[in-house]
Amino acid sequence: MKSKSKAKLFSLEVFLNKDGNVEMNCETLNPDTFEKEMNIGLPMYSGTSQVASLLRYLKKSGDDIMSGSGNYI
């Protein structure tokens, strides 16, 4: 089995479905869970706190986009 070289941390997707409706999907890895799992499974990685902070920022931005999109669609 081929090992993964990347892990998806954040995703924001916008689709136009066949009925002409816009569908939005935002997925964010929980920053606290990420931090906990990294500290347990890969404690030698020094960037855990920075990545967790980035995830918090992306989650807030994604939430803002999702809630504000109602003004446009």
- Confidence band (pLDDT; 50, 70, 90) for 4? confident
The tens digit of pLDDT for each residue in 37-60 reads: 999 999 999 999 999 999 999 999
Q: Does residue 16 lie in a domain region?
A: no
> Residue 15 domain-assigned?
no
Structural domain harbouring 50: 31-73
Q: Which helix (H) or strand (E) holds 23?
A: strand 22-28
Cβ proximity of 29 and 53 under 8 Å: no
**Mean per-residue pLDDT for 3-17?**
92
Which of 64, 71, 73, 72 minimizes the C-alpha distance to 12?
A: 64
pLDDT of 30 strictly over 70: yes
Distance of CA 9 to the CA centre of its chain: 5
Total of domains in the chain:
1
